[in-house]
Amino acid sequence: MRFVEIKSVDQQALLSLHRAQNLIVRQRTQLINALRSLLAEFGIYIARGLARVISFAQSVVEGVELELPTIAQDVFRNLCQRLGALHEQVRWYETRLRLEAKRDARVRLLQTIPGVGTVTASAIAASIGDGHQFRNGREFAAWIGLTPANKSSGGKERLGRITIPLGTLLRNALPGSGWVINICASSLS
């Protein structure tokens, strides 16, 4: 029987940093979507992209008048102020993650893997510690759900789809690293 290693206090602290950053990013995305849809009801459309939405929000906070009723202007100014605050919080968490990554030798080592950036490396280090509980890479991949489902029967080997139950930090971070590698490989060829 395989036992799960208990996470250290430092691992739990780093994981809480990741989870809090993830929460703030989701809240910012939710607010952006709500702001865009409410503005669209008044016929005002913001171009796609985070930078454009943040720029629009800053201009509204600075006093750019929208041709809307006073109540709507107050609502949008309030939402834009909240968006600016959330964006600053996201930047704080990103800065803190980079700072913590520089301090941890395991994170720096993981960042030498192509496609693995600060967030992914930090998430791996926080989740598995030093990794000695895995005998090989396949055990690690199975632990996070990146191996195909086994549907073998009657001596005939059948492998199903990769079973990635969404929701955990690593399962969301690692596919992004794969995309980076694919994009870099396609741009080189």
pLDDT tier at 142, thresholds 50, 70, 90: confident
Residues with Cβ within 8 Å of 61's Cβ and at least 6 positions away in sequence, in order, are 77, 80, 81, 84
Question: Mean pLDDT over all residues of the chain?
Answer: 85
What mean pLDDT comes out for the span 165-184? 62
* Residue 169 confidence (pLDDT) above 50: yes
* Closest among 131, 95, 71 to 21, alpha carbons compared: 95
What does the pLDDT read at residue 28? 97
Residue 90, CA distances (Å) to 17, 31, 138, 160 in order: 11, 13, 34, 38
Give the tens place of pLDDT for each residue, 84-113: 999 999 999 999 999 999 999 989 998 998
What does the pLDDT read at residue 164? 62
Residue 54's SS3 state is helix
Whole-model pTM above 0.85? no
Residues with Cβ within 8 Å of 72's Cβ and at least 6 positions away in sequence, in order, are 42, 66
Residue 156's SS3 state is strand
Instruction: Report the C-alpha gap between 62 and 56 in whole angstroms.
Output: 10
What does the pLDDT read at residue 129? 79
Give the residue carrying structure tokens 């192509």: 114
What mean pLDDT comes out for the span 110-135? 85
Give the residue carrying structure tokens 């080189």: 188
What does the pLDDT read at residue 37? 95
Residues with Cβ within 8 Å of 106's Cβ and at least 6 positions away in sequence, in order, are 121, 125, 130
pLDDT tier at 114, thresholds 50, 70, 90: confident
* Residue 71 confidence (pLDDT) above 80: yes
Give the tens place of pLDDT for each residue, 3-38: 667 888 988 999 999 999 999 999 999 999 999 999
What does the pLDDT read at residue 160? 78
Residues with Cβ within 8 Å of 115's Cβ and at least 6 positions away in sequence, in order, are 177, 178, 179, 180, 181, 184
* Residue 42 confidence (pLDDT) above 80: yes
